[in-house]
Amino acid sequence: MKQYQRSSVLIIGGAEDKVHGREILQTFWRCAGGNDAIIAIIPSASREPTIIGDRYLSIFRDMGVKDLKVLDVRDRIEGEDKYYQEYVEQCTAVFMTGGDQLRLCGLLADTPLMERIRQRVKLGEITLGGTSAGAAVMGHHMIAGGSSGESPNRALVDMAMGLGFIPEIIVDQHFHNRNRMARLLSALSNHPERIGIGIDEDTCALFTPDDHLEVVGKGTVTIIDAQAMSYTNQGKVSAESPLALHNLRIHILCHGDRYNRKAHQPTAALDN
């Protein structure tokens, strides 16, 4: 079984297998330290935090951990809770569930709890995982909502501030499953210096400390790289007008494929 480092960031496209092979959640568990893991589960994106918190609690408990706890923040004041903060000091990993990414950011952005998590992730001390809404918040810019079935246009996507764990990316989840290519392109038109990461369901973009991402799971991870974009009409047209974007580079990556974030180059699973 492949070994991953303990200071990874796992960005999951939603609807990950929770019943059978649990490949992605197993990978998170291993990055969290396996039987030595101490996992903090943050269910705050969900309007049913008890149910979803308990679900992940029982999944990770089944795998075998040293300790685990749901940090059930339902009010910003709980982001200053001493007990929760102490737990974050001892934990080896934090997992953020699905729900509504605006709710998650609204409750936790800039709280002492989230600031400390961010710091520990940045220092490479803990592993971080997020699925669906918990994935959407990973970048500095966040897709808060949007639509499909239209030519790319700025009105197709609602942007907000994310939690900024990996500032240079803009994440979209349930990606091909919900036909979100046009909305991610629309998001990028405004921020071409960022990298668009579209993650399919039951699929994970695993960011490793050596500046790579690796694909785990059943679907694809789509990378949209606009660094060489030669033209966009983005600033010149109304929000509903179709967007021109010339010279994008796109990579569709499958299980085991890697992407070098510094060199902006993918390598195939077979060559890794």
218 is a site residue for a second copy (CB under 8 A):
yes
Establish how many alpha carbons lie within 13 A of residue 161's alpha carbon, considering only the half-sphere containing its beta carbon. Answer: 8
Please say which residue, 104 or 201, places its beta carbon nearer to a second copy: 201
* Residues 222-241, interacting with a second copy (CB under 8 A): 230-231, 233, 241
CB 27 within 8 A of CB 217: no
Active site residues: 132, 150, 174
**Options 56, 173, 257, 261; binder of a second copy; rule CB under 8 A:** 257
Please say which residue, 127 or 222, places its beta carbon nearer to a second copy: 222
Angle subtended by helix axes 49-63 and 23-31, to nearest 10: 70
153-179 burial by CB neighbour count: b if 16+ within 10 A, else e?
bbebbebbebbbbbeebbbbbbbbbbe
The C-alpha angle 193, 199, 203, rounded to 5 degrees, equals 145
Please say which residue, 116 or 251, places its beta carbon nearer to a second copy: 251
190 is a site residue for a second copy (CB under 8 A):
no
Q: Determine the interface stretch with a second copy among 36-44, 69-77, 82-90, 263-271 (rule: CB under 8 A).
A: 263-271
49 is a site residue for a second copy (CB under 8 A):
no
Strand pairing of 38-42 and 67-70? parallel
Q: Determine the interface stretch with a second copy among 34-42, 55-63, 136-144, 243-251 (rule: CB under 8 A).
A: 243-251
Please say which residue, 35 or 230, places its beta carbon nearer to a second copy: 230
> Least distance (Å) from a second copy to the CB of residue 143?
16
Q: Determine the interface stretch with a second copy among 62-70, 78-86, 126-134, 250-258 (rule: CB under 8 A).
A: 250-258
Residue 104 CA: distances (Å) to CA of 98, 154, 187, 188:
9, 24, 20, 22
245 is a site residue for a second copy (CB under 8 A):
yes
Q: Determine the interface stretch with a second copy among 20-28, 53-61, 100-108, 177-185 (rule: CB under 8 A).
A: 177-185
16 is a site residue for a second copy (CB under 8 A):
no
Q: Which of 176, 97, 162, 180 is nearest to 131 (CA)?
A: 97
192 is a site residue for a second copy (CB under 8 A):
no
172 is a site residue for a second copy (CB under 8 A):
no
> Least distance (Å) from a second copy to the CB of residue 209?
23
Beta bridge partners of 142: 160
CB 42 within 8 A of CB 95: yes
DSSP conformation letters of 33-47: TGGG-EEEEE-TTSS
* Residues 112-171, interacting with a second copy (CB under 8 A): 148-152
User: Could you give the 3-state DSSP secondary structure of residue 142?
Assistant: strand
**Residue 77 is which amino acid?**
I
Binding positions for a second copy, rule: CB under 8 A: 148-152, 176-179, 181-182, 185, 200, 203, 218-220, 230-231, 233, 241-255, 257, 266, 268-269
